[in-house]
Amino acid sequence: MSPMECINKMPGIATLLLTTLFSISCDAYFNLFISQDEIRKLLGINASELYYVREGVVNTYAMNFVVLLPTHISDLQFYWQALTRHPMPYVWTVEYNNVDAMLPPSFSISRQGLVPFQVEPFYIRFPCTGLRSAEVHVLLQLNVSAQRPLHSDTSINFRRNKICSKAVISEDVTPRNDSIRLDPSSLGSSAGTFYIAVSCACALILVIIVISSLAYVKSNKANTQDSLHTSYTSGAYAGNPNLFIRMDSIGSGSYATIASLHKSSASPYATSCVTADTKGRTTHHIYAKPRVSYYASSQLTQMPQLDPEERLRRLHVPRHRIAARTLLQEGTFGRIYRGTFYSEDDSRTHDVVIKTVSEEASRLQESLLLSEGTLLYGFSHQNILPVLGANTDAHLPPLLVYPYTNKGNLKRFLHKCSAHEEQYTLLTPDLVGMATQVAAAGVFLANQRLCHKDLAARNCVVDDKLRVRVADSGLARDLFPGDYHCLGDNENRPIKWLAIESLTLKQFTSASDVWSFGVLMWELVTLGQQPFAEVDPFEVAAYLRDGYRLSQPPNCPDELFDVMTWCWQADPDERPSFFQLFACLEEFNSTLGAYI
């Protein structure tokens, strides 16, 4: 039976994925692989050789993704060897676009000849012209003739996308991790958002199988993962944690609830009403039952927005009522202490967290701490961390007082769980529960018409019962300097958490907070991994405009990743509201609870 006959017998998403596989043979009778150094250069991990063909069988998993070659990588190295005693003729052919950006790929071997009987390396170079910037799509095809009745001819396609920059001619430089994107042609244009999300998830599972085994899997059956009760502290992100996916344009519809992706019955917690606006565009409205609205009601009294000076005046407490005890975290100029907050008559004390700066801090740094640290003043919500008091006595470092949470900063807590420094084994229900709490805080802030602008795990706190509260961003730039970058405008910003419009136009809305919330969920699932770790901050905006997004982490349920990708729509109007997110996550969390 031919490969296409096999494909035609497979229904649904399997057909969508397998139609992207290449014309292959099960009797190739030669080896073709890349070395450990090449894997380190392309994927940023230490592993054994990766076989594309081993002992005559083609590794379809390794062939099913497009490798992106950035400007600093121009050469690829392969090893091959014939396993037969008779000659095996081969022919290499190359197709590529953007001839102004890249010269024809060159080989260190002849384009046609015989596969060597001994293991031998060869190189393929992708030379950029330096005349223009472009992403060049390259198709390398290897045809091997068996010349024996018992052996089949083999045709294998390698897809590589080379990034060329204007005035930059390719040269060999130090390797680093590279990004991977799925072949857009493998995603049916009429499948819509559902098929794109599921296709990306399934294709990523194939990539993870390649990375984890790397020694060739002889069976073509990929093992699917049931991650409802997976321990994230035991194996999350054992491979490369920063693969990227490419999101092409998708339909104008939105998910009403997570359940609508996989079933047609109405949600027991949230139902949707589909209407059309004045321009004829379809929109979805979520109507939640009382249990949802208890946590995140849209019928909340709005607090008046006060200027920083008025907030400080109302928060002022005498300095003798604040006592710093234990240093919890320290940056270049910022410090966080555990301390004691005394009542007015000194009859009661409270454990608190105290934010302050060192004597070397500038006036600008003090001003940022006070303006950002009092942003959430006056808000009362179970998932919002309020500021309790402030002292700004002259000639002394300012002090801000917050309620104490015994597990502290959420990002540091996730890192400790990943390093087994905490006794917690975080399961999917725990992570979804924490994300739901942050979404509830987002609903509250959106109702108050307040844009957080820096929603991330580093700006949340958690206690021993995994209750999460969103905090302000005071001192975050100093305590987590690796999360902030300056793009030449003298302003440190959380580049890799920002929405496209925030990066390019400096527009901040509730929709841009939703984007950041999607990255926060990714942080939860990866136990605090760094998003877009390999991407230069100056290139992030271009990556996002080109459609690249963070990929589905290992052991992440499809439903949860669907929510993330929904948050990362390029058009802010296509993103969900926090209320929709809360309803979806609440429903998904309830579904998870049914299995416990």
Which three-class secondary structure state does DSSP give residue 522?
helix
Nearest to 285 by CA among 591, 2, 576, 5: 576
Rounded CA separation 205/150 (Å): 34
Residues with catalytic roles: 454
HEC-encoded secondary structure of 447-505: HCCCCCCCCCHHHEEECCCCCEEECCCCCHHHHCHHHCEECCCCCEECHHHCCHHHHHH
Tokens (6 digits) for 138: 């390259």
Quick count: other Cβ atoms within 10 Å of Cβ 265?
7
Strand partners, 550: 244
Rounded CA separation 81/93 (Å): 19
Give the burial string for 194-210 (b: 16+ CB within 10 Å, else e): bbbbbbbbbbbbbbbbb
Rounded CA separation 87/106 (Å): 24
Q: How many CA atoms lie within 13 A of 345 on its CB side?
A: 1
Q: Which runs of E-coded beta strand occur in 244-358?
A: 244-246, 270-276, 282-288, 322-330, 334-342, 349-357
Which three-class secondary structure state does DSSP give residue 26?
coil
Find the largest Cα–Cα distance for the chain: 97
Measured between alpha carbons, how far is residue 421 from residues 409, 413, 429, 458, 578 in Å? 14, 9, 21, 18, 33
